[in-house]
Structure 1
Amino acid sequence: MPAPEITPGAPCWIDLMTSDITKAREFYGELFGWEYETGDEEKYGGYTTARKNGKTVAGLMQKDADQAGMPDVWSTYLRSDDAEATAFAVAANGGQVHMPPMDVPEQGHMAIFGDAAGAAIGVWQPREMKGYELVAEPGAAAWHELHTKDYDAAVKFYEEVFGWDTDVMSDTPDFRYTTLGAGDSAKAGIMDASGYLPADVPSNWQVYFNVEDADASIEKAVSLGATVIDGPEDSPFGRLASLADPTGAMFKIIA
């Protein structure tokens, strides 16, 4: 499959901040068939790149002591051609700059922002590292979804800051959902989660991974120490489930 065409504002990378990178490598390696390459410690802090069939699919990073109280989490990154300009746009549209744009030697620039509803979102301005090289294939990211407590503010934020050309997939009281792009060309979604996210759970981005068989993948994940949070269940888009890996990082699978 050819490398995905990643346009400005679209998801381009995912990574896992984990409290146990050895356990994470073992878990996702067994579950998704990933192989790993660890970057130079001095340059990249030991950042680990995951590959499937020789193509980059994700990153993994060991949390440091300052992050010990934070939950393990998967993050989505959107592409920006100018991370500094994106930071200004974030602040001007009700967002927060959690980590200002920083240079990743030779690879690009990264930043972490909070959107207008409080969800953390990463930004990547590429140089040598363009983003993931495989999507919508078994063991690779298939979909990115924002569960937000302020749907209208979130949709406007991504339109204004990242230039999203949005399409309203559903606007009923029970299910409000907007996508980046439309139909088969859609690249991410925003869901109104105000009715079901608990008070202590902030708006958040969630990553779906493609698998060949959801039930078999769940059985394998559980045998490797994962917990099933929800599902499996059939949807118009495939059979899906929500899980937590052995250290608690949440992710979704879809067949």
Structure 2
Amino acid sequence: MPVFDDYAQGTPNWVELMTPDQRGAADFYGALFGWQMVENPLDDGHVYIVGNLQGDAVAGITFQLPELEGHPAFWNVFLAADDVDAVAARVGPAGGVVEAEPFDFFDYGRTARIQDPTGARVSLWQPRSVRTVRANEPGTPIWNELLTPDVGRATQFYSDVLGLSSDTHPVPWASVPTYTTFAAAGRQIAGVAPPLEEAPPHWNVYFNVVDVEESVAQAEALGAKLIVPAYDLEATGRMATLTDPHGALFCLIESAAG
């Protein structure tokens, strides 16, 4: 039962779906992952939906901002920050951009939205009452990955801003001879790799499932679109990539570790 009380700085500690149809998305992911959805009224009249598994928070589903009208839904990855304001202050000198200055998201936590020098967007999260409590088991996030055309520049940025270390590993994949990982407090917490040619730099979220084929079939029946069919990655597991009914990209992985 992988339950987390806290996260070392730089570790992904929350994922959030921004979508034009919150309740439709809640129905989709609730059916796919077995989440129980809790609607939390906000002071501005909206609601913030938290997907729970066995009573523990897993992910958020939020409304689409007016300036993003017409934009496909997307999953946003949040990285733990011990002090959001201090971390955000290091973004510009390290070559990145602070797109949304630090602010309090109601009483849930303090956040900022940044873009790294290679163009990938990610958020910082200093939690108060909300974080991913349950992870690394079926129906929860198990891995995050930065896809960037300049791995060296990206790893330097996240080292300067969040103190993450990185290491490059040889892998037995013909098209990708090496794979880079981020580590926080000595623990591997995310991967870094070049994106597909047509994909912009971005962060991916992987959700663990018991059986990839069954989950893909269920997701398609619920309105998802299969982008990358299920395939095996040696020593890692079996995975697939889909978009949900409103266009948000997400990955599934049936971990080789079980």
Amino acid at match of 1:79: A
- Superposition misfits of 4+ residues, deviation over 4 angstroms: none
Partner of 1:180: 182
Of the three residues 209, 213, 216, the one matched with 1:215 is 213
Partner of 2:101: 100
Amino acid at match of 2:98: V
Partner of 1:143: 143
Query: For residues 185 and 158 of structure 1, do their structure 2 counterparts lie closer, same or farther at Cα, with a shift above 3 Å needed?
Result: same
Amino acid at match of 1:125: Q
Question: Which SS does the other structure have where 1:69 is aligned?
Answer: coil
- The superposition leaves residues 132-162 of structure 1 with CA deviations (integer Å, 9 ceiling, x where unpaired) of 1111111100100000012111111111111
- The superposition leaves residues 188-219 of structure 1 with CA deviations (integer Å, 9 ceiling, x where unpaired) of 111123xx332xx4200000000000000001
* Seq. identity, %: 36
Q: Quick check: 2:2–2:135 contact (8 Å CA) kept in 1?
A: no
**1: CA distance between counterparts of 2:29 and 2:220?**
12
Q: Structure 1 length normalisation: TM-score?
A: 0.92
- The superposition leaves residues 73-121 of structure 1 with CA deviations (integer Å, 9 ceiling, x where unpaired) of 0011000011111111111111111111111233220111001101000
Partner of 2:242: 243
Question: Which SS does the other structure have where 1:186 is aligned?
Answer: strand
Partner of 1:38: 39
Of the three residues 226, 229, 236, the one matched with 2:227 is 229
Which runs of 5 or more residues in structure 1 are unaligned?
Answer: none
Q: Quick check: 1:98–1:112 contact (8 Å CA) kept in 2?
A: yes
Partner of 1:90: 91
Count of equivalent residues? 249
Q: Structure 2 length normalisation: TM-score?
A: 0.91
**2: CA distance between counterparts of 1:222 and 1:57?**
22
Residue 7 (structure 1) aligned with residue 1 (structure 2): no
Query: For residues 35 and 139 of structure 1, do their structure 2 counterparts lie closer, same or farther at Cα, with a shift above 3 Å needed?
Result: same
Q: After superposition, where does 1:181-200 map in structure 2 within 5 Å?
A: 181=183, 185-193=187-195, 196-198=196-198
Which runs of 5 or more residues in structure 2 are unaligned?
Answer: none
CA root-mean-square deviation? 1.9
**2: CA distance between counterparts of 1:32 and 1:190?**
26
Amino acid at match of 2:94: N
Task: Give the Å deviation of 1:45.
Answer: 3.5
